[in-house]
Amino acid sequence: MSDLARFLDYARAFELAFLCDDFGLIEPFFADDARHRVAGEDPFAADDHGRDGVVAGLRASVGRIDRRFDARIVEIVEGPEPRDGGVGMRFTMHLRRAGLPDLVLEGDHLTVYDDGGSIARIDETLLGGCDKEARAYLERHDAALRPSGSAPPAPRPEDAPLFRDAFQKTLVRAYAAAKSAQDVEAALGICHPDFSIETLAFGTTSRGRDDTANQLALFFSVFPDFRAETEGLLSGDEGVAWWGRIALTFAGPLLGRAPTGRRATIPAFSIFDFRDGLLARERFFFDLGMLCDDIGVPLAEMSRALEGLRAAAE
């Protein structure tokens, strides 16, 4: 399992631990000598050592900060992706309390794994001075907040669309980041067993995770440096729209044609559907003619080759 796949498993376990107030769920992810550091002002600063110390520190942090609010809405806004010997990401967190303005935090998070696949270190930094602003917020509104260590609050209907949007956009960003790392295991680990990709330009559709894994492996063997750059996301009841640019080099043989070594950077657009809290389908759009022009393959030749590929798959 890749570190990115491990991180996504840990992130899911942490959110479940937060919701059900059972932090024993995250204990198996940490090494015996794990360390968790948070740079910033109290009450956010931390430097915990050892599995038990790290888990206890995370539980205590949630109790003295997050549980004082009615809702906690977290969104990954960059990554997660391989960085600095681990898996890095940037996140935003909105803490909401009735009658008060939201407390908004932005942070950088790095998780480093040991050789056995356990978390050896987590380093977090709150960005832009938001730790100082948050400390002032907590002092100013202390009397209006829930008591420290309160039980998990009941969900509020007004927060549901915000939870949904943040969760769906986080899954799409994580999926795009995993594909940009050519990490099929991590990408499909957040997908439903029936997940499919409809690549409209190619006229192909995968069926289920195994078939999708095979198609992605073939795609990455041709375009091994594929990268998706997110420019925008729109979440709603029907799913998520993603738009941005994809960059890829024709570096491996494609349907009997030798690679040209030429690189394409073109606009792209995807629509994502969800099922059971997982990605269920991606409909992937880009201009085939633009891709062919950039990688140096005649459109007619590419179209004939794709016809053969579709026929072989039937």
Q: 49 falls in which pLDDT band (50, 70, 90)?
A: very high
Q: How far apart are CA 299 and CA 289, in angstroms?
A: 6
List the one residue out of 168, 134, 161 whose CA is nearest residue 271: 168
pLDDT for res 309: 65
Q: 312 falls in which pLDDT band (50, 70, 90)?
A: low
Opening angle at CA 22, ends 18 and 26, nearest 5: 80
pLDDT for res 254: 80
C-alpha distance across the termini of the chain, in Å? 32
List the one residue out of 119, 108, 170 whose CA is nearest residue 3: 119
- Average the pLDDT over 270-295 and give the result: 96
What domains can be seen in the chain, in order of their start residue? 3-154 (3.10.450.50), 169-313 (3.10.450.50)
Buried b or exposed e, range 158-169, using 16+ CB within 10 angstroms: ebeebbbbbbbb
CA distances from 38 to 42, 73, 117, 219 (A): 10, 19, 22, 39
What's the token pair of residue 61? Answer: 């942090």
Average pLDDT of the chain to the nearest whole number: 94
Sheet strands (E) in the chain: 30-39, 46-49, 71-83, 86-96, 103-113, 119-126, 191-199, 204-205, 227-236, 239-249, 263-275, 278-285
pTM for the whole structure: 0.93
